Amino acid sequence: MEFQRFDLHPLVAAGVKAAGYDTPTPIQAQAIPLILGGKDVMGLAQTGTGKTAAFVLPILHRLMNGRRRQVRALVIAPTRELAEQIHESINTLGKQTRLKSVTVYGGVGMGPQVEKLKHGAEIIVACPGRLLDHIGQRTIDLSRLEVLVLDEADHMFDMGFLPDIRRILKHIPGQRQTLLFSATMPQEIRGLAGETLKGPVTVQVDETAPAATVSHALYPVSQHLKTALLVELLQRTRIASVLVFTRTKQRSKRLAEHLGKKGYRVASLQGNLSQSRRQAAMNGFRNGTFQILVATDIAARGIDVTRVSHVVNYDVPGTTDAYIHRIGRTGRACRSGDAYTLVTNEDTDMVRAIERVLGNPIERRKVPDFDYNASVAPIHAGCVPSRRNASAVRRPDGTNNTGRLWSNPSRTRPV
């Protein structure tokens, strides 16, 4: 199947071609015809499956007919990073349509957003809290809304946004098309779907399991040796780019500072940063300025980087859903990826739960010559990465920037 079969508006189809899209992903193949047909859709798909384009393309096609400079489509997302990612996708795919998209989220001043809204936009991509602020100040008119998208609905529930969503629903027309996308479907989200969707068609891709392109490994270690083991793993593994997840903002900041002192190109992404610094960290990770990004779960859904070679769970996530969302940042777009998890004795129950979701035991690994019995974290004289490893970037053809073929990153190698 090819995108031409959707019979999209020529200017939308031109955006698809310019973006290099060829064959639709399973979620796109199933959802796009239904959305084009006006159906309410509940999409169950893990991250990295192409679901953003699955709703963006039909929306662009629909908005090509009808009045301009009025808000006719609203996409609600849980995080600023995800809102920006969706906004960028709209601008890329709709470049020739002259349709305008405006992002609305907190952490930045309302003034610039109000100015952009005054100039008119057909699509708003918003986080719930700031959207309610605009509604309260009457700087957004949703009375002519035709399409509502709730993206990453389960994550919005995790972040406590469901009451805000219900408040927003009171300000939009009852006659509309509603699309709900979620990686998992807890009972609360099913309840929300029942409230907001009318006769929805459910589209489910690969159930809600991690991508098959990701390999998994556990590294048992004492809590006080985690950082030292992480440095050893980075030293012994050829990485293109690595995303490290921590449980708290403070741990994210401290770990990034520690890795920076070891000579790695690293940035931290967590809630205490201003929006400009968060965006700089994201952009630097995308373009290769930073080889390592240390993040909290707030970033798990908003990072759209197709060439993340490794995800490292420095801290085991609190739920199996969070594990799926974290590792969904690697193994994207049919590429292979690796998920490493540092586990302590306290993590046994969660590890078992994750293995039940995966349907198989996860391989336990040990790093050769690492002192697992040390009473304090070892100090390594040789922890600074070599110049070759620190600057190497994996290319699509399988070579790094030195011209050498990239080795299999799924196994550690002796230094």
Block residue for tokens 């996708």: 89
Q: Which of 120-124, 270-274, 313-317, 393-397 has the lowest mean pLDDT?
A: 393-397
Could you report how far apart the first and last alpha carbons of the chain are, in Å? 46
Amino acid at 62: R
Query: How many CB atoms sit inside 10 A of residue 163's CB?
Result: 9
Residue 11 has pLDDT above 90, yes or no: yes
Residue 396 has pLDDT above 90, yes or no: no
pLDDT of 213: 64
pLDDT of 360: 87
Could you tell me the CA-to-CA distances from 292 to 185, 205, 254, 311, 356 in Å, in that order?
Answer: 31, 30, 14, 10, 30
Banded pLDDT at 233 (limits 50, 70, 90): very high
Banded pLDDT at 221 (limits 50, 70, 90): very high
Could you tell me the CA-to-CA distances from 336 to 46, 242, 327, 407 in Å, in that order?
Answer: 16, 13, 12, 13
pLDDT digits (tens, 9 = 90+) for 350-360: 898 888 888 88
pLDDT digits (tens, 9 = 90+) for 18-76: 988 888 988 999 999 999 999 999 998 766 678 899 999 999 999 999 999 999 999 99
What are the tokens at 305? 């980087």
Residue 346: partners with Cβ closer than 8 Å, 6 or more residues away: 223
SS3 state at 267 = strand
Residue 410 has pLDDT above 60, yes or no: no
Residue 280: partners with Cβ closer than 8 Å, 6 or more residues away: 267
Residue 89 has pLDDT above 70, yes or no: yes
Element (DSSP H or E) covering residue 155:
helix 153-158
For the question of whether the overall pTM of this predicted structure is more than 0.85, the answer is: no
Average pLDDT score, the chain: 83
Contact 73, 113 (CB under 8 A): no
| Distance of alpha carbon 377 from alpha carbon 187, whole angstroms | 43
Would you mind telling me the total number of residues written for the chain in this entry? 415
Domains of the chain in sequence order? 3-204 (3.40.50.300), 214-391 (3.40.50.300)
Amino acid at 90: I
Query: How many CB atoms sit inside 10 A of residue 68's CB?
Result: 13
pLDDT of 309: 82
pLDDT of 325: 76
